Amino acid sequence: MKKYIITAVLSIFSVLSLSAQSQSNPQVSKLYQDYISVKTALTTDDADKTSKAAAEFVKTAAAIDPKVISSTHLSALKKNAGTISGTKSIDTQREAFLNLSKDMIALTKQFKLSGKPVFVMYCPMADGSWLSNEKQVVNPYYGSKMLSCGSVKSEIK
C-alpha cells in the first residue's frame, strides 16, 4: 500500500512537471524571439547587427530563472550567443549559431512558445538546422550566397 502511494505521488509530480514545461513561458518566448533576431541578422550577412542581436539574447538568457531552464542549458545558450556577440566575423558567428540552434531546438521541443507552429529547417551544405516562424527557407548559414538552400525538417506545435 505504501509503495502504491509513493508511486502515485511520483506519477502526479511527473505529470505536473510535464504540463508546466509544455505551457508557454514568457521568458522562454522572449529568448526564442531574440534567437529569431540573431537568425534574421545572419541571413542579411550583417555581422554587426548579428552581434547586437546575440548580445540581447545573452541579456535575456541571463535574466531567466534557473528553475525554468536548467543552469547547464542556460550556460550553453549564453556561451554560444556570447561567442556570436563577441566577434565581428560572420563565419565565426555562423559556426557558433550551429550550436546555439541545436540547444534552441531542444528547448523549443520542451516549451510551448506560441499558438503557431515553429519550423525546424535544415541546410545540407552546412549540415545544420535552425528554427523559423515560417516554412519559407531563409538560410542563416550562407546568407545571400545561398539564401534558399535548405528545407523544412520538422514542425514543432
The verdict on residue 131 lying in a domain is yes
The verdict on residue 9 lying in a domain is no
The verdict on residue 129 lying in a domain is yes
Nearest to 110 by CA among 156, 153, 71: 156
The verdict on residue 39 lying in a domain is yes
The verdict on residue 143 lying in a domain is yes
Q: pTM (2 decimals)?
A: 0.83
The verdict on residue 14 lying in a domain is no
Share of the chain above pLDDT 90, in %: 71
Helix (H) or strand (E) holding 133: none
Report the pLDDT averaged over residues 116-124. Answer: 94
From the number of C-beta atoms within 10 Å of its C-beta (0-12, 13-18, 19+), residue 50 rates as buried
Give the range of the structural domain holding residue 97, as residue numbers without chain letter: 25-156
Report the pLDDT averaged over residues 85-104. Answer: 97
Q: Indicate the number of domains in the chain.
A: 1
The verdict on residue 1 lying in a domain is no
The verdict on residue 97 lying in a domain is yes
